[in-house]
């Protein structure tokens, strides 16, 4: 494999993969059409895509907005052997894939969530993509030929800091962090309701709600947390959980029973909307459990999500 171009910017995943591939000696770059609200750096940046809520209306009013990417992508893509698309292709539904195959480009599709969940694989991707990856194993349900590739994490960038306050006599300083990218999808209303109830019960806790901030600033907030609540509805964990486990934080997240076979260990506290209050009480009152989960989480991330290991795996999987 001589050169790889990642197209897209999803939670820093393309950037993480590209950086690890470069460490392996590959030529690997990232092209993004997103407005980078979170501060992820890209090699080619053409900010033409609006946020998700605004995108539908402007595309409905002017369908030509869907065609803006190709004139920018085509001259750059010509210089790379493999095109690794994240979330979406150059044209809707993979209509550009026949062109890439005619140009003798190797083409990979990498799904990350709502692009495929509840929708299924689009037929052009299924027929013309030479590999299909998914970032979480729950997405395998929607693409029968896909391969799960865990999201990468540069372990060196996340030094272990531990679970924060571990004094059983200082419960009033316990900080609970939640960082939703989309509140409805992550179950944020249930988190807010639980925090309100815990305060009503007399727990003097602080909620750290991280939204609309750069990735660098978000990490600094993660370091302050005693307890982290990731998503409560999907059934698997996201980048928030990964990063916080790397830092040594105890993480609450909903893990579907049928997906737990994909985990070599259980480093998180399996938490649904039904037992959220119970689990938060448990962690607030048991600093030793918080510390234990933090250590187990760090070990899990080193085994499963180390970006150098993921890059090696990808190089074996690429067509």
Please give the span between the terminal C-alpha atoms of the chain, in angstroms, as a whole number: 9
Instruction: Identify the pLDDT of residue 66.
Output: 62
Q: In the prediction, which pLDDT does 48 show?
A: 76
CA dihedral 167, 169, 171, 177 (to 10 degrees): 0
Q: Cα 276–280–283 angle (5° rounding)?
A: 140
Summarize pLDDT for 63-121 with one digit per residue, the tens. 555 677 899 999 999 999 999 999 989 888 899 999 999 999 999 999 999 899 999 99
- The pLDDT of residue 164 is 74
Q: Which domains does the chain carry?
A: 3-149 (3.40.50), 156-304 (3.40.50.2000)
CA separation for the pair 219, 236 (Å, rounded): 21
The answer to whether 211 and 242 have CB atoms below 8 angstroms apart is no
Give me the pLDDT at residue 264, please.
85
pLDDT at 170: 53
Say what the pLDDT of residue 214 is.
Answer: 83
Give the chain's residues under pLDDT 70. 1, 36-39, 49-66, 165-172
**pLDDT attached to residue 266:** 87
What pLDDT was estimated at residue 54? Answer: 43
Q: Where are the alpha helices (DSSP H) in the chain?
A: 13-23, 52-61, 69-77, 97-102, 123-128, 183-186, 188-200, 215-224, 239-246, 276-285, 287-304, 307-317
Tokens representing 302 are 């080193």
Please provide the average confidence, as pLDDT, over all residues in the chain: 89
Distance of CA 124 to the CA centre of its chain: 25
- Residue 121 tokens, joined: 């694989």
């Amino acid at each position: 494999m001589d050169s790889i171009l990642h197209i897209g910017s999803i939670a820093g995943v393309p950037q993480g993969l590209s950086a690890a591939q470069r460490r392996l000696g590959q030529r690997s770059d990232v092209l993004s059409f997103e407005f980078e609200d979170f501060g992820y750096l890209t090699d080619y940046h053409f900010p033409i895509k609006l946020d998700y809520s605004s995108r539908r209306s402007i595309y409905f009013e002017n369908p030509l907005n869907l065609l803006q990417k190709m004139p920018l992508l085509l001259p750059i893509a010509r210089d790379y052997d493999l095109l690794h698309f994240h979330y979406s292709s150059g044209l809707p539904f993979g209509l550009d894939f026949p062109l890439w195959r005619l140009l003798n480009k190797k083409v990979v599709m990498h799904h990350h969530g709502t692009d495929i969940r509840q929708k299924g694989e689009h037929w052009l991707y299924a027929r013309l993509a030479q590999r299909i990856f998914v970032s979480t194993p729950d997405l395998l349900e929607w693409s029968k030929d896909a391969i799960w590739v865990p999201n990468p994490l540069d372990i060196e960038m996340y030094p272990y800091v531990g679970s924060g306050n571990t004094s059983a006599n200082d419960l009033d300083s316990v900080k609970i962090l939640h960082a939703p990218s989309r509140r409805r999808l992550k179950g944020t209303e249930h988190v807010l309701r639980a925090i309100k109830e815990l305060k009503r019960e007399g727990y003097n806790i602080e909620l750290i709600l991280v939204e609309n901030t750069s990735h660098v600033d978000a990490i600094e907030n993660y370091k302050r947390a005693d307890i982290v609540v990731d998503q409560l509805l999907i059934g698997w964990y996201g980048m928030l959980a990964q990063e916080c486990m790397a830092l040594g934080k105890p993480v609450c997240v909903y893990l579907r029973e049928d997906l737990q076979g994909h985990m070599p260990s259980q480093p998180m506290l399996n938490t649904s909307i039904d037992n959220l209050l119970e689990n938060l009480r448990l962690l607030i009152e048991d600093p030793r459990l918080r510390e234990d989960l933090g250590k187990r989480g760090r070990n899990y991330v080193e085994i499963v999500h180390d970006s150098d290991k993921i890059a090696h795996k990808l190089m074996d999987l690429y067509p």
